[in-house]
Chain A
């Protein structure tokens, strides 16, 4: 008999098998080799592998050379540490059969470890004396089915856990016998006692009437697509409403639907949460919308508040001073329209020299540091004109105290400034005039004393000489004369004080006419003294008529009066040159002036008195020689000044005098 290429050892005899018919020996070996189970025979306490079929070799992952005729644990060392040794030893010792339905075994082949599951029997083999002489091993590799099972078990456990965790209930509805299987969670989901016998009909009964057709639709769809899914409301016994989600599958066997199974989940909370969430979101949204509206309204109000203000420019600036908004006041004060200026920097409003000196930057810096910066000064409008502005820049902070921008308020104070300047000027003028008035009030009263004194003296003398007609006449004259002097004096003083009144109006007048009138007033005197007067063509200009008359009257009168011989008077007119203007006080060298000179051939005076003579009440000559109140020249000076001009005098004793009037063109 040809032996297959298996491992055998020894002859059938050395086997020691208690086999009935010896002829079965080799055939038996053959059968064992071909058995559909794994088999091996371990002989002796050393458990020498005397027989191993391909099945067992496969399980062990070894070749027969590796294991045959060797003790088991030499050829299969890895088995020693996995509990097999003790089991086998026990079998050998006790002769008791060991059966394992499922035992893990790790075998190493070519360095790779395989995890296997085996089912085996260890049966003791006895000799004729009933002593254990070896162990027969019959095994089956059940790795695959065990793995599959374990996998399935794991899945089931996972599912069960998932279901439990998800509060899901499971159900199974077998169509043909209307069997309905379910987990005890299912009645609970429907608010029923867990022990309730839940029938498939419950599904239909307990669903909210309004949602029944949702279920119907889903079931119909499931029959077509094999997938079941719907969410519907159910009514609990206490009439509370809950939501369930049902998902499942239809199982078919040969195209025929045999069962439906699936899971039910109570999603009430979810729904409520969802509803709540939705409500919260709605509320939040509404709240946000409202806040937004309020903000818009507030912004609008602020805008309106600032926009309409006309007297102040109210601007918002960013950190660099860029203009972010504009208002009516800003347009009015600075002249720019909103679309022209928003986005530009405040440096636009500053004078070039202020820009060079970085004034706007400094103000912004100050506002950043101190919270506020104020300034009064010149600013430019769009059209280039300058105005006097009062500026306040205030820093704006966020909740953390960081500066995020500035507000800038500008007031046009040009008018106020002008008014202030005018007031200052007016006050100064007033003070000056007061002083002047005080001075000459004193002098006037002083000078009035004199004629009054004389009147008293003369009346006294008159009283003593009433019989002397000559003396009476003489004294009477004196008294009269003094009284007249007083009158004159008072009149001139009044005249002088009236000179500064604002009622004096400027008119366009022809000086030639004025002089002509004055000369006709002096007709008699001119005739008497045989005076000759030559006059240039005089200009037409703006002046106060009465004062011009007084001026020329005084000067021509003086020229006629202070003259011993026949007066020769010339009145000349020319334009004053810059050099001349420079030498006369109170004149503006940049302006144009007429120079009208009245030259006479009278007694003259010492040049050193040239300024003094214009002082009120200063007389260079004794009263008796030349009549005069002493106010005349002071009057002339005042008149010239009233017209923004001046008057000068030059003379030499005995060589006449020249009085020059400077009047602006």
Chain B
């Protein structure tokens, strides 16, 4: 690929941001990681710069101020992000949630991995 891929990681937990970052670097060192600490920050970031079109957007389910699903809904509506693949992730999943987030516009609902290797495997699948 001759352009740098970008991903946006929306999570209020700094550690989770780190885990993500580490895993991404491992899979695709060239990928640029962007972070937002909550939904509001993320939307602001996205709305402020229409040229910022992340290839992948990961949204945490449980967040203060703006919940994950709400954030997802808002982002999914942004037309310029139509090509972005949005993923929700949470500590647990079930069919109902899965359907919900899919309806809202996400590709999938991911379960937070418990180890580095799991993380890498997950991202490998998605980012490739």
Query: Which A residues are closer than 8 A to B by beta carbons?
Result: 446, 449-450, 452-454, 456-458, 460-461, 464, 478, 619-624
* Chain A residues whose C-beta falls within 8 Å of the C-beta of B119 in the assembled complex: 457
Flag if B64 contacts A457 (CB, 8 Å).
Answer: no
Is B91 in the interface zone, CB < 8 Å from A?
A: yes
Flag if A461 contacts B116 (CB, 8 Å).
Answer: yes
Is B96 in the interface zone, CB < 8 Å from A?
A: no
A461 to B116, CA, bound (A): 7
A478 to B14, CA, bound (A): 11
Within B24-48, which residues are at the interface with A (CB < 8 Å)? 37-38
Nearest Cβ in chain A — how far from B10, in angstroms? 12
Residue of A at shortest CB range from B62? A619
Within B42-91, which residues are at the interface with A (CB < 8 Å)? 63-65, 91
Please report whether the interface of chain A is mostly helix, strand, loop or mixed according to DSSP: helix
Nearest Cβ in chain A — how far from B60, in angstroms? 10
* Chain B residues whose C-beta falls within 8 Å of the C-beta of A457 in the assembled complex: 15, 19, 113-116, 119
A450 to B37, CA, bound (A): 17
Apart from A453-B112, A621-B64, list 6 A-B contacts with CB within 8 A. A456-B115, A457-B15, A457-B116, A460-B115, A478-B15, A624-B14
29 residue pairs of the A-B complex, CB under 8 angstroms, read: A446-B91, A446-B92, A449-B91, A450-B91, A453-B112, A454-B15, A456-B114, A457-B114, A457-B115, A457-B119, A458-B15, A460-B115, A460-B116, A461-B19, A461-B22, A461-B116, A478-B15, A619-B64, A620-B64, A620-B65, A621-B64, A622-B12, A622-B13, A622-B38, A622-B63, A622-B64, A623-B12, A623-B13, A624-B13
* Chain A residues whose C-beta falls within 8 Å of the C-beta of B14 in the assembled complex: 624
A449 to B13, CA, bound (A): 14
Query: Which B residues are closer than 8 A to A by beta carbons?
Result: 12-15, 19, 22, 37-38, 63-65, 91-92, 112-117, 119
Residue of A at shortest CB range from B112? A453
A457 to B119, CA, bound (A): 9
Nearest Cβ in chain B — how far from A653, in angstroms? 10
A619 to B63, CA, bound (A): 9
* Chain A residues whose C-beta falls within 8 Å of the C-beta of B22 in the assembled complex: 461
Residue of B at shortest CB range from A623? B13
A461 to B118, CA, bound (A): 12
Residue of B at shortest CB range from A454? B15
Nearest Cβ in chain B — how far from A507, in angstroms? 39
* Chain B residues whose C-beta falls within 8 Å of the C-beta of A620 in the assembled complex: 64-65
A474 to B126, CA, bound (A): 29
A623 to B37, CA, bound (A): 11
* Chain A residues whose C-beta falls within 8 Å of the C-beta of B113 in the assembled complex: 457
Flag if B92 contacts A453 (CB, 8 Å).
Answer: no
* Chain B residues whose C-beta falls within 8 Å of the C-beta of A461 in the assembled complex: 19, 22, 116
Residue of B at shortest CB range from A624? B14
* Chain B residues whose C-beta falls within 8 Å of the C-beta of A454 in the assembled complex: 15
A-B contact count (CB 8 A): 44
A623 to B117, CA, bound (A): 25
Nearest Cβ in chain A — how far from B48, in angstroms? 21
Nearest Cβ in chain A — how far from B78, in angstroms? 23
* Chain A residues whose C-beta falls within 8 Å of the C-beta of B92 in the assembled complex: 446
The 6 closest A-B pairs by CB, nearest first: A622-B12, A460-B116, A456-B114, A460-B115, A453-B114, A624-B14
* Chain A residues whose C-beta falls within 8 Å of the C-beta of B65 in the assembled complex: 620, 622
Nearest Cβ in chain B — how far from A136, in angstroms? 164
Residue of B at shortest CB range from A465? B22
A297 to B114, CA, bound (A): 90
Residue of A at shortest CB range from B91? A449
A457 to B92, CA, bound (A): 17
A456 to B117, CA, bound (A): 11
A620 to B62, CA, bound (A): 11
* Chain B residues whose C-beta falls within 8 Å of the C-beta of A452 in the assembled complex: 114
A622 to B41, CA, bound (A): 13
Nearest Cβ in chain B — how far from A288, in angstroms? 92
A622-B37 contact, Cβ under 8 Å, with A446-B92, A449-B91:
yes
A446 to B12, CA, bound (A): 17
A453-B12 contact, Cβ under 8 Å, with A619-B64, A622-B64:
no
A446 to B62, CA, bound (A): 12
Nearest Cβ in chain A — how far from B57, in angstroms? 19
A464 to B116, CA, bound (A): 10
A456 to B113, CA, bound (A): 10
A621 to B37, CA, bound (A): 11
Nearest Cβ in chain B — how far from A135, in angstroms? 161
* Chain A residues whose C-beta falls within 8 Å of the C-beta of B114 in the assembled complex: 452-453, 456-457
A216 to B64, CA, bound (A): 141
Nearest Cβ in chain B — how far from A638, in angstroms? 23
* Chain B residues whose C-beta falls within 8 Å of the C-beta of A449 in the assembled complex: 91
A661 to B119, CA, bound (A): 46
A456 to B13, CA, bound (A): 16
A453 to B13, CA, bound (A): 13
Residue of A at shortest CB range from B11? A622
Residue of B at shortest CB range from A447? B91
* Chain A residues whose C-beta falls within 8 Å of the C-beta of B38 in the assembled complex: 622
A63 to B49, CA, bound (A): 182
Most chain-A Cβ atoms within 10 A of its Cβ — which of B12, B22, B64?
Answer: B64
Nearest Cβ in chain A — how far from B80, in angstroms? 27
* Chain A residues whose C-beta falls within 8 Å of the C-beta of B13 in the assembled complex: 622-624
* Chain B residues whose C-beta falls within 8 Å of the C-beta of A456 in the assembled complex: 114-115
Nearest Cβ in chain B — how far from A443, in angstroms? 11
* Chain A residues whose C-beta falls within 8 Å of the C-beta of B64 in the assembled complex: 619-622
* Chain B residues whose C-beta falls within 8 Å of the C-beta of A446 in the assembled complex: 91-92
Residue of B at shortest CB range from A449? B91
A619 to B114, CA, bound (A): 23
* Chain B residues whose C-beta falls within 8 Å of the C-beta of A458 in the assembled complex: 15
* Chain B residues whose C-beta falls within 8 Å of the C-beta of A621 in the assembled complex: 64
A461 to B114, CA, bound (A): 12
Residue of B at shortest CB range from A618? B64
A620 to B63, CA, bound (A): 9
Flag if A453 contacts B63 (CB, 8 Å).
Answer: no
Nearest Cβ in chain A — how far from B118, in angstroms? 9
A558 to B63, CA, bound (A): 20
A623 to B22, CA, bound (A): 21
A458 to B115, CA, bound (A): 8
Nearest Cβ in chain B — how far from A282, in angstroms? 102
A452 to B119, CA, bound (A): 15
* Chain A residues whose C-beta falls within 8 Å of the C-beta of B15 in the assembled complex: 454, 457-458, 478
A460 to B91, CA, bound (A): 18
A449 to B113, CA, bound (A): 11
Nearest Cβ in chain B — how far from A441, in angstroms? 15
A294 to B79, CA, bound (A): 109
A329 to B63, CA, bound (A): 69
Nearest Cβ in chain A — how far from B72, in angstroms? 18
A452 to B91, CA, bound (A): 12
